[in-house]
Amino acid sequence: MGRLFGTDGVRGVANADLTAEMALGLSVAAAHVLAEAGTFAGHRPTAVVGRDPRASGEFLEAAVVAGLASAGVDVLRVGVLPTPAVAHLTGALGADLGVMLSASHNAMPDNGIKFFARGGHKLADELEDRIEAVYESHRHGEPWERPTGAGVGRVRSYGEGFEQYVGHLLSVLPNRLDGLKIVLDEAHGAASGVSPEAFSRAGAEIVTIGAEPDGLNINDGCGSTHLDQLKAAVIEHRADFGIAHDGDADRCLAVDHTGEEVDGDQILSVLALAMREHSALRADTVVATVMSNLGFKLAMEKAGIRLVQTGVGDRYVLEEMKQHGYALGGEQSGHVIILDHATTGDGTLTGLLLAARVAETGRSLRQLAAVMERLPQVLINVPDVDKSRVRTSADLAAAVAEAERELGETGRVLLRPSGTEPLVRVMVEAADIEQARSVAGRLADAVKSALG
């Protein structure tokens, strides 16, 4: 079988790929692995467990809580809260482990389990591998060592988590949001309670959409993956701008007062300049992935801010940030990490800081986002090719070199083998959309010819 843990925990169709038995087994395995690693040494362990509103989260939460308690871990159930809230509370409460049940921006039938280490940080890869190995060995018959009597874990609801997280968000804001009218699209997800509360308390006048989760409607035609409702609402209510989250609220995208999308690259641009102005952008550096728009790179160069680029995935952005102590990083998808105030992407925090910059400067979000010109970007997926030869094909290298010559300084080519499918992604950026389409089409043909 393939590796259970992907780049963001274990994810699949709930009750088909991700069953109650698996959730329970992985939780017991996590408790045993962390105990062996010395995380629980000298004290009774505690875990924070939260979830998004998916219907399947109810039975999966019950399974995770049962697994942890059966392994001798006390459990604080924080209920429906965003992923970054569970990470924050894991650190703030001094817990040994955090568990979030969510499939983020995926459709409702999916769900996932994400583990956080002490401090609210992502578990190291080697610990995930060990948890998976221990889970597999016990799934095939090896019995668990189980505590009895007073040794079993105790479970209690921790309703104070909501207030603690909102308080944390507000404590980070550099200024209030009075005078701003903001539409919030909560994707019928985990931030449906905390995000409107935080924006309201910060002084903004808010209009909320997608904030009535019923367990079945998460991400359904709303949120950061479907911006049309938000665009319409911003124009209808004559709002200053709109903010959209995904199901677990670790992402944030925005819409300006004209209904134009403001993507993750543009949000990073605005925040990078704001943080530098306030001497909070360490080493005058921002971290992004190779998929960031070339316009973002050019804007940062013009502003005298250094850009470090990583492989695709927020985990690589986070690794780079932690290794070198950088303060800001993120992805075009709106997954923004502000490491001084969060251990993971936090969509509500990102939205609040974006709004704070609008309030502080008195400029519209459209004006602020104009610091970066988004260059036309064309992406073509080329299926059924030998993606392993992308780096070694001489014919393909010649085609790429020719394309780069044609595009010059105002364009870019990226060929990327898919991590999960037998296909190669061809991405071309150019100052002109027709040129981008033309070059991308030729390169896609070259990929088929060289690797087919």
250 annotated among ligand-binding-site residues: yes
pLDDT in tens, 291-315: 899 899 999 999 999 999 998 888 8
Q: Can you give the pLDDT of all 452 residues of the chain as single tens digits?
A: 457 888 778 999 999 999 999 999 999 999 999 999 999 988 999 999 999 999 999 999 999 999 999 999 999 999 999 999 999 999 999 999 999 999 999 999 999 999 999 999 999 889 999 999 999 999 877 788 899 999 999 999 999 999 999 999 999 999 999 999 999 999 999 999 999 999 999 999 999 999 999 999 999 999 999 999 999 999 999 999 999 999 999 999 999 999 999 999 999 999 999 999 999 999 999 999 988 998 999 999 999 999 999 988 888 999 999 999 999 999 999 999 999 999 999 999 999 999 999 999 999 999 999 999 988 989 999 998 888 888 888 888 999 999 999 998 888 898 888 766 778 899 999 988 999 999 999 999 999 888 88
**In the CATH scheme, what is the homologous superfamily, with its name and number, of domain 10-160?**
Alpha-D-Glucose-1,6-Bisphosphate, subunit A, domain 3 (3.40.120.10)
Tell me the domain boundaries of the chain. Answer: 10-160, 178-369, 377-451
Which DSSP state fits 71?
T
Q: Which CATH class is domain 178-369?
A: alpha beta
In what order do the strands lie in the sheet containing 253-256? Answer: 205-209, 181-185, 241-244, 253-256, 261-262
57 neighbors 129 (Cβ within 8 angstroms): no
Q: Which CATH class is domain 377-451?
A: alpha beta
Six-digit token pair at 317?
């952005």
pLDDT in tens, 226-236: 999 999 999 99
- 10-160 and 377-451 agree in CATH topology: no
Which SS3 state, helix, strand or coil, does residue 415 take?
strand
What is the set of active-site residues?
104
384 annotated among ligand-binding-site residues: no
Six-digit token pair at 381?
């997926």
pTM for the structure as a whole = 0.91
Neighbour count for residue 302 (Cβ, 10 Å): 10
If phi over 0 gives left and psi between -120 and 50 gives alpha, with beta otherwise, what is residue 332? alpha
Predicted local distance difference test score (pLDDT) of residue 1: 43
104 annotated among ligand-binding-site residues: yes
